[in-house]
Amino acid sequence: GAVVSQHPSRVICKSGTSVKIECRSLDFQATTMFWYRQFPKQSLMLMATSNEGSKATYEQGVEKDKFLINHASLTLSTLTVTSAHPEDSSFYICSAREVLYQPQHFGDGTRLSIL
Binding interface with other proteins (CB under 8 A): 2, 4, 6, 32, 34, 36, 43-46, 49, 91, 93-95, 97, 100-101, 103-109, 111
Q: How far is the CB of 11 from other proteins (least distance, A)?
A: 15
| Strand ranges across the sheet with 76-81 | 4-7, 19-25, 76-81, 67-73
Q: How far is the CB of 48 from other proteins (least distance, A)?
A: 10
Give CA–CA dist 43/74, Å, rounded: 27
Q: How far is the CB of 83 from other proteins (least distance, A)?
A: 26
Residues of 89-99 as b/e, b for ≥16 C-beta within 10 angstroms?
bbbbbbbbbbe
Compare residues 61 and 100 and give the one whose CB is closer to other proteins: 100
Burial of 76 (0-12, 13-18, 19+ CB in 10 A): middle
Compare residues 45 and 72 and give the one whose CB is closer to other proteins: 45
Compare residues 7 and 15 and give the one whose CB is closer to other proteins: 7
